[in-house]
Amino acid sequence: MTRLFAFLAAIILAAPLHAQVVESAPAEPVEAPTPVQTIAATQDEGADERIAGRISGIFAELPAFEQVDVAVSEGVVSLSGTVPRQEDIARGEAIAMRVSGVVTVENRLERDVSLSADGAGIASVADRWDGFVKLLPLIGVALAIWGLIVTAGYIIAGLGALWHKLAPNSFLAELIASAIRFIFIIGGLVIALDIIGATALLGAVLGGAGVIGIALGFAMRDTIENYVASLMLSLRQPFRANDWVQIDTYEGRVIRLTSRATILMTLDGNHLRIPNGQVFRSVILNYTRNPQRRFEFDLGVDADDDALAARQLGRDTLAGLEFVLADPPPEGRIVEVGDSNVVIRYLGWIDQNEADWWNSQTFAIAAVKRALEDAGFALPEPIYRLRFDQRTQPLPFENIARGGVKASAPTPARKPAATQTVAPDVSPKDDISQMVEAERREAGGGQDKDLLDQSRPVE
């Protein structure tokens, strides 16, 4: 019981303290209402004249309000007349409202749009012209400084030998020179406008130029992408002049790489221009970088023949050809068992500097085929099985006897062709290559400069 009384007493003593803490907590700030200006019930004698005199005195010191009339009655100010600019109408009312004792303003001001000699509009134009004439010497100085800065930029950009030494190719060197000229032109313009105090105009011009630049960027997206691709290709150098390449589905020898397109000469002698943007995105297959190239072809032997023996015979035949390399050695692979034959794929390597790829493949096929036939391997043609059902009526024997259907005479066996004894000519065919070299010599250093650099390694 004693403990219960003590607990109750502690609660009673703590209650006033808690109330005091709550009362002392800071209250949230309450925004005070804006006081409403009251109008006095009476007015001092002569107050209107004092207000009118004060406002008229202020307007007399401001040229824009020379044609303004002021009238005051019971604290109400009436403004009438003309002002030169539209913003002066609100300005005059604001000045009148700041005078003590003014109840309200009846604003009847209008802008002076007359064309008279002393009209506010003509006077404003005249003032602007006078200001421009006074500013002409400063404009001349600003233009002179801008011209000096631009001239210095062109002189620095004209140091072609320096930029060609620093840049990896001529295309990037010209890009650096153009960037230097652009920076000096814009920098000189900023300084000139700052001299005449027209930096606000510069901000508006640059802002408008930025918006126009974004719009042109979207409109000329493909052109810009092609330009950037040209820069990347000139730095990466994915091929050399006269390389035999396949770009996407296009195949030919490279004539030149320009700032806009890659020009090929197809294998049938036609010019092919591929935009650099497409070249940069495509898979490039270069047949020239590695002089060793493999050819392959398929031959089928009879299903009853020994396919492994035919495979070995073909490999030995390829190894005996002078134009086929011994390293890597020729190869034969059984790739398919057909309905009537076994397909063997033969592979051989050549040196493209010593042998033509097309001719090598041609003579290799002929040599292996002849070797297989001489060894007794059959190279069967496709066999088709024909079935006659009951609805097919056989031809009467009488029609055959009467000559209705004549049986064909047996075909005499053909004699095998004579074996070729002359060594095949597989020397490289450089007709297209010579045409490309002639094209490059005739082009020289024209407008479309070649960005391929023979001294740089190919990527």
HSE of 369 in the Cβ direction (CA atoms, 13 Å)?
Answer: 16
SS3 content of the chain, % helix, strand, coil (to 5): 45, 15, 35
Q: How far apart are CA 43 and CA 101, in angstroms?
A: 9
Burial 363-398 (b: 16+ CB within 10 A, else e): bbeebbbebbeeeebeebeeeeeeeeeeeeeeeeee
Q: What is the pLDDT of residue 1?
A: 47
Amino acid at 430: D
Reply yes or no on domain 47-111 having CATH 3.30.1340.30: yes
pLDDT score for 44: 75
Alpha-carbon distances of 328 from 35, 194, 308, 313, 331, rounded to whole Å: 102, 74, 20, 18, 9
Specify the residue for token string 């730095």: 235
Q: Where are the domains of the chain?
A: 47-111, 122-219, 241-288+436-443, 292-392
**Alpha-carbon span 127 to 76, nearest angstrom:** 34
pLDDT score for 254: 93
Which of 336, 260, 264 minimizes the C-alpha distance to 298?
A: 336
3-state secondary structure 39-53: CCCCCCCCHHHHHHH
pTM: 0.55
Neighbours of 223 (CB within 10 A): 14
pLDDT of residue 371: 94
As a whole number of angstroms, the distance between CA 178 and CA 243 comes to 32
Tell me how far CA of residue 102 lies from CA of 60, 68, 78, 105, 109, in angstroms: 19, 17, 11, 8, 18
Peptide bond into 394 cis (omega under 30): no
Which residues are CB-contacts of 234 (< 8 A; sequence separation ≥ 6)? 168, 169, 171, 172, 257, 451
Residue 133: partners with Cβ closer than 8 Å, 6 or more residues away: none
Long-range (24+ apart) CB contacts under 8 A made by 252-256 are 252/432, 253/432, 253/433, 253/436, 254/436, 254/452, 255/436, 255/439, 255/440, 255/443, 256/440, 256/443, 256/448, 256/450, 256/451, 256/452
Domain 292-392 fold is Alpha-Beta Plaits (3.30.70)
CA distance 446 to 453: 16
Interstrand relation of 250-257 and 261-265 (parallel, antiparallel or unpaired):
antiparallel
**What is residue 23's predicted lDDT score, i.e. its pLDDT?**
43
Contact 215, 221 (CB under 8 A): no
Give the Cβ contact number of residue 253 at 10 Å: 23
Cα–Cα distance measured from residue 332 to residue 346, given in angstroms and rounded to the nearest whole number: 4
Which of 161, 199, 163 is CA-nearest to residue 179? 163
Residue identified by tokens 């004894």 is: 421
Consecutive H or E run containing 314: helix 307-319
Q: Please tell me the predicted confidence (pLDDT) of residue 324.
A: 94
CA distance 140 to 147: 10
What is the rounded CA–CA span in Å between residue 168 and residue 136?
A: 47
**Predicted local confidence at residue 116, as pLDDT:** 56
Res 210: pLDDT: 74
User: In the chain, which stretches have pLDDT less than 70?
Assistant: 1-37, 40-41, 114-126, 168-169, 199-200, 202, 205, 220, 383-385, 387-423, 444-448, 455-459
Q: Find out if CATH 1.10.357.10 is the number for domain 241-288+436-443.
A: no
SS3 139: helix
Q: 110 in helix, strand or coil? A: strand
